Structure 1
Amino acid sequence: MGIRDRFSGFLARQVEKRGLIEDSLGGSVRLNGWFASDENILHSSDVYELLQDISNQIALAQVVVEDQETGKDITNHNILKVLRNPNNYLTGTEFMKLMVNTYLVEGEVYPFFTGKEIHIVSNVETELDNQLTEHFKINGTEIPSKMIRHIKNIGLNHLEGVGVKLLGKDTLEGVMSAEKVLTDKYRKGGILAFLLKLDAHINPKNGAQSLLINSILDQLEGIDDSRTIKLIPLGKGYEISDLKSPIDDSKNLSYLNVYKKDLGKFLNIDVDTYRSMLKTDLEKAMMYLYNKSVKPIMQNFEDHLSLLFFGPNSNLRLKFKVNILDFVTYSTKTNIAYNLVRTMITTPDDSREMLGFDRLFTEESMKLYISKDLIAGEDINKATDDSLKGGDDGGQAKGDSDA
């Protein structure tokens, strides 16, 4: 009997250690709350999806250095090599996505350039001195301002940006909690709740009764799989019956249908509009995302990174170039390429590259063509002259002229 009592007591203590019950007799169950933080904010599927769409567009953009005096792009500048291989733990794509996601979630991001590598740093303290110069400290160590930039998703504060974590905090916490409730319910095969009935009065001083109740609670809490079966022998006067789950799927889903759409507004996106476009026209959806969200972010990044890399007095500027044709169907690209060649805007080599083929670099493939006959632009005068010479009217005119 003593061994069984000690074992039951051990089970009861384990339940209490896990914080599952405050008091075995008439106590309360602790419910874990969710808070919008760096660790869990991406658990909301809608936030993650929108962040991925935005950061992917920017990560796929071509980055060039533009000489603002000549208007020409410099594609082999040393800074571009740094961005392609920023440091020894991130690729260029990973770095760009991290910078965008941090900017959107936190509202601000700190790129730090050592002269050879670029990093995203956290736990940065900023302050303005009397001369309105911004100073940066990391763990008490001051960082030269020329080596770091403070890129802000600007709101109404000149020193701090605002991100999803702050703007959508209440909505995010509600959505994440509702999602977690539904996920946990179906992951466990349904939430099982039980009601213990006793014929006798519950007496807190009844040690045997307390041990039995604690043991039953421990057994029931141990059901973490829908295939698990627990056999709980009960004495006379005890009965366990099912208690209907308080979780109402329809109410939770209705809540999510309303508030998950609201998360998009904190990223400057109307979720309904965006998703309807994705179903019917991918190009329109990507252009909508580009104009509403991506383009302003890239403009801000260009401003800050240009100052970080080249300083305030340089004519060089970093530029992000998104190729929207990456988001159209192949048949659409074929039609675009064909029409661009016919209208003397694109060479055959340009169109070949657009469709995924290698350039030929031949004399003919690098010429601009016009009209259905695909006449090289520089040969149009000659072609017109030949056409006039070949006709009856042209021959007559030539004869009259000779005469």
Structure 2
Amino acid sequence: MGLRDRFSNFVYRQLEKRGVMEDIYSNSIRYGGRYANDDSILESSDVYELLQDISNQLMLADIVVEDEEGNEIMHHPVLKILKDPNNYLSGSEFIKLMVNTYLIQGEVFPVLDGDRMHLASTVYTELDDRLIEHFKIGGETIPPFMIRHIKNIGTNHLKGIGLLELGRNTLEGVMNAEKVLTDKYKKGGLLAFLLKLDAHFNPQNGAQSKLIKAILDQLEAIDDSRSVKLIPMGKGYSIDSLKSPIEDEKILAFLNVYKKDLGKFLNINVETYQALIKSDLEKAMMYLHNKAAKPIMKNFEDHLSLLFFGRDSGKRIKFKVNILDFVTYSTKTNIGYNIVRTGITSPDNVADMLGFPKQNTPETQAIYISNDLTKIGEKKATDDSLKGGDESDKEEGNADR
């Protein structure tokens, strides 16, 4: 990895001298493509909630580095990069953004720039005759070892597929329906009035124009549903309320059907998930984890491992989720109780007294009760007891025996 880092830094310095890298990253990050559509997707509350639930699981996971035997490597420099990837995103924000981009756009491009990481957009990719993938941002080539193309794979080997493409028609319908209802109630239910004139309207008639303007001013001044306006009107004028053409029941029925389809594009059955949330939150989180989060974690692990360590290294990035985070407090209490109960029944004489089967091992047959018990709570008390304690403790222990 040392040689790889030196080569990476050399390439970066050469590009930096030409002023290329600064332009590439600033344009790619600040002026990313399709940002308007992506933001619009998040305006749908149901989609936003599902994306949050999935990305939060990865954000809350512990990221570790493992060697070939699966042993965790503590304080590896890569962990520092993942914890503080750049000057504008924290490690948690970086992971959430990576997941959301991956799910919405179907692909995401993490870039390793020395000791900094970025998520590039508007990346152009192509395969050459030797089936090697090449990357360009703003017409400039990015070395393959500095970037990874993480794809939400469908049937295309070069391009991932996300919610933006999979559910485009459904999504647009849902978003339009939600916007219609939101706008309607924002504007007081679209309550409108129709001013009817029996007489011929004459723009040159000053008195008539003043009267109409006064009526309209009165109607427009109604900004509260509890307001009451008394408008005296002359002969030939009448006001009728105009019913809103937007029918809530039909729109809600449409949303009830098609909103659930959006979850399927995120690999979630919304009905199942919502039912589990109401009945058993632990099962709901495990359902979400196994159906959506776990496959993403595996894909991210593969690509980030290659990005940081290359193909020839046995080191690996791992996302580790604490399953107990999904367990209720009462369940954790039961787990703790069971551990304590197991400890109580470990000595054979106690197990026999309480009606549990003896284990019949040298450890469980020995009796370790001594004055060491009075040291519980003192610093290193358990360490001392494991080492046999000091000489006085040994003598006291022998005396007890």
TM-score (normalised: structure 1): 0.71
Structure 2 residues not aligned, in runs of 5+: 1-34, 353-357, 369-401
Q: 1:184–1:315: structure 2 CA closer, same or farther, 3 Å change rule?
A: same
User: Following the alignment from structure 2 to structure 1, what is the Cα–Cα distance between the partners of residues 214 and 253?
Assistant: 35
Q: How does 1:175-324 map to 2 (within 5 A)?
A: 175-199=174-198, 225-226=223-224, 237-324=236-323
Is contact 2:348–2:364 with CA below 8 Å preserved after alignment?
no
Is contact 1:113–1:308 with CA below 8 Å preserved after alignment?
yes
Q: 1:202–1:312: structure 2 CA closer, same or farther, 3 Å change rule?
A: farther
1:263-294 Cα offsets, whole Å, 9 max, x none, are 11011111111111111211111111111111
Is contact 1:107–1:164 with CA below 8 Å preserved after alignment?
yes
Amino acid at match of 1:253: L
What does residue 48 of structure 1 align with?
A: 48
Is contact 2:104–2:164 with CA below 8 Å preserved after alignment?
yes
Structure 1 residues not aligned, in runs of 5+: 1-34, 349-367, 388-403
Work out whether 1:160 is the aligned partner of 2:141.
no
What does residue 381 of structure 1 align with?
A: 362
Q: 1:191–1:311: structure 2 CA closer, same or farther, 3 Å change rule?
A: same
Is contact 2:309–2:315 with CA below 8 Å preserved after alignment?
yes
Work out whether 1:120 is the aligned partner of 2:87.
no
Work out whether 1:60 is the aligned partner of 2:60.
yes
How many residues are aligned here? 327
Could you tell me how far 1:343 is from its partner in structure 2? 5.2
Is contact 1:219–1:230 with CA below 8 Å preserved after alignment?
no
TM-score (normalised: structure 2): 0.72
Could you tell me how far 1:201 is from its partner in structure 2? 6.4
Q: Which range is displaced more, 103-112 or 214-223? A: 214-223
1:183-205 Cα offsets, whole Å, 9 max, x none, are 222223221223243335689xx
Amino acid at match of 1:381: P
What does residue 396 of structure 1 align with?
A: none
Could you tell me how far 1:329 is from its partner in structure 2? 1.4
Could you tell me how far 1:222 is from its partner in structure 2? 5.9
Is contact 2:108–2:150 with CA below 8 Å preserved after alignment?
yes
What does residue 25 of structure 1 align with?
A: none
Is contact 1:109–1:151 with CA below 8 Å preserved after alignment?
yes
What does residue 394 of structure 1 align with?
A: none
User: Following the alignment from structure 2 to structure 1, what is the Cα–Cα distance between the partners of residues 102 and 114?
Assistant: 22
Is contact 2:305–2:317 with CA below 8 Å preserved after alignment?
yes
Q: 1:185–1:62: structure 2 CA closer, same or farther, 3 Å change rule?
A: same
User: Following the alignment from structure 1 to structure 2, what is the Cα–Cα distance between the partners of residues 299 and 372?
Assistant: 48
Is contact 1:286–1:324 with CA below 8 Å preserved after alignment?
no
Counting aligned pairs with the same residue, the percent is 61
SS at match of 1:74: coil
Could you tell me how far 1:382 is from its partner in structure 2? 4.3
User: Following the alignment from structure 2 to structure 1, what is the Cα–Cα distance between the partners of residues 221 and 347?
Assistant: 75
Bigger share in helix = 2
What does residue 377 of structure 2 align with?
A: none
User: Following the alignment from structure 1 to structure 2, what is the Cα–Cα distance between the partners of residues 196 and 99?
Assistant: 55
What does residue 99 of structure 1 align with?
A: 98
Is contact 1:342–1:370 with CA below 8 Å preserved after alignment?
no
1:20-79 Cα offsets, whole Å, 9 max, x none, are xxxxxxxxxxxxxxx9911211111110111011000011011111112x2211132111
Could you tell me how far 1:341 is from its partner in structure 2? 5.4
Is contact 1:223–1:230 with CA below 8 Å preserved after alignment?
no
User: Following the alignment from structure 1 to structure 2, what is the Cα–Cα distance between the partners of residues 251 and 334?
Assistant: 48
1:211-233 Cα offsets, whole Å, 9 max, x none, are 99997999699669436889999
Could you tell me how far 1:318 is from its partner in structure 2? 0.5
Is contact 1:261–1:271 with CA below 8 Å preserved after alignment?
yes
1:70-121 Cα offsets, whole Å, 9 max, x none, are 2211132111111111111111111110000000011111111112011111
Could you tell me how far 1:143 is from its partner in structure 2? 1.0
User: Following the alignment from structure 1 to structure 2, what is the Cα–Cα distance between the partners of residues 84 and 378?
Assistant: 46
1:214-255 Cα offsets, whole Å, 9 max, x none, are 979996996694368899998875544211111111111111
Amino acid at match of 1:130: D
What does residue 77 of structure 1 align with?
A: 76
User: Following the alignment from structure 2 to structure 1, what is the Cα–Cα distance between the partners of residues 305 and 323?
Assistant: 24
Give the CA RMSD over aligned residues: 3.6
User: Following the alignment from structure 1 to structure 2, what is the Cα–Cα distance between the partners of residues 222 and 108?
Assistant: 49
User: Following the alignment from structure 2 to structure 1, what is the Cα–Cα distance between the partners of residues 219 and 105?
Assistant: 38
Is contact 2:286–2:326 with CA below 8 Å preserved after alignment?
no
What does residue 328 of structure 2 align with?
A: 329
